[in-house]
Amino acid sequence: MDTVHYSVLQQEVLQWLAPPAERGLFIDATLGEGGHSELLLRSFPELRLVGLDADGSIMKVAENRLASYGERVRLYNMWFNQFFRTYPLGGEQADAILFDLGISIYHYQRAERGFSFQKAEPLDMRLDESLEISAADIVMTYPQSELEKIFFKYGEERYSRAIAAAIVKARKESTIGESKQLAEIVWNAVPPKYRHGRIHPATRVFQALRIVVNGELARLESALQHALEHLRVGGRMGVISFHSLEDRIVKRFFQNKSKACICPPEWPICKCGGEQDVVSVLTNKPLVPGEKELSWNPPSRSAKLRIAEKKREVHE
């Protein structure tokens, strides 16, 4: 199967997350089609790589792509928060860890699970098909108030109330089971002037549903903490995010871990023990794609890369 996804910020990843040792251990926490992993393996001939992905179908694409690197590569078909919580690598710490939180083009073009609102595909959106609740389950069964909350909170959708009402009305008449069907409901629910903006009016609704179906934000918060524990002192963690909700979590996590005290400023004395000063934030502002990358890979326009370096163990 041909690769269809182009990994973003490739040169920045190479520059900032280069292994400090020839046989360093790099963990690609969001393997996807293996773009970043292949780049690193090719650039550093002694590098050992662990790749993670919850989606077994896309992992097969990466497995074929990375087959020539042999025993330098170990792949785990599991969610990154589960991996870092159980950590099946024994006591070996990672030299660098990368999270690329973007959804792969593969999922839009080939997964046939309703990630694209331009196709008539089953409204599923599960990255891990063993998950119990699909996007169609949410759309067909959740109360209008809950749908409105989801679209506003996770999609930052200004017309969440009108869209939720339109969905509830439509599902009384027929089953909403396809992605294109839902996109048309959203299109008709928003004001005409909103339909021709920079993005399709269904973009934020689909984003919100995908986040909820896969529990993406909760998984990210959990994974960052456990991943830091398994990063060696001097090692680096990089996170590429594609929307403000993810970036906010990453920014806050790095900031908190870089502070000597995380008590609220209004507290007269420190009560946290000042045990959080475990990383140095290397990117005060996130790294973003340059004009050259934007010209050949327009979907990279929303990518932001933040990097932190571990200063000491989380618990001493």
Task: Name the token pair of 174.
Answer: 């027929």
Residues 99, 168 within the same domain: no
Of the candidates 306, 316, 235, 247, which has an alpha carbon nearest to the alpha carbon of residue 276? 316
Q: What pLDDT is recorded for position 7?
A: 87
In the predicted model, is pLDDT for residue 3 greater than 80?
A: no
CATH of the domain at 89: 3.40.50.150
Residues 168, 132 within the same domain: yes
CA gap 79, 51 in Å, rounded: 11
Q: Which of 214, 231, 266 is the last residue of a domain?
A: 214
Q: Which of 177, 195, 214 is the last residue of a domain?
A: 214
Label residue 182 left, alpha or beta by phi (over 0 means left) and psi (-120 to 50 means alpha): alpha
Residues 94, 170 within the same domain: no
Q: What pLDDT is recorded for position 28?
A: 98
Domain that holds residue 225: 10-106+216-310
* Total count of domains within the chain: 2
pLDDT in tens, 260-289: 877 787 887 777 766 678 999 999 999 999
- 5 in a structural domain: no
Residues 70, 111 within the same domain: no
Q: Of residues 108 and 23, which shows the higher confidence score?
A: 23
- 117 in a structural domain: yes
Decide: pTM greater than 0.85.
Answer: yes
Residues 118, 205 within the same domain: yes
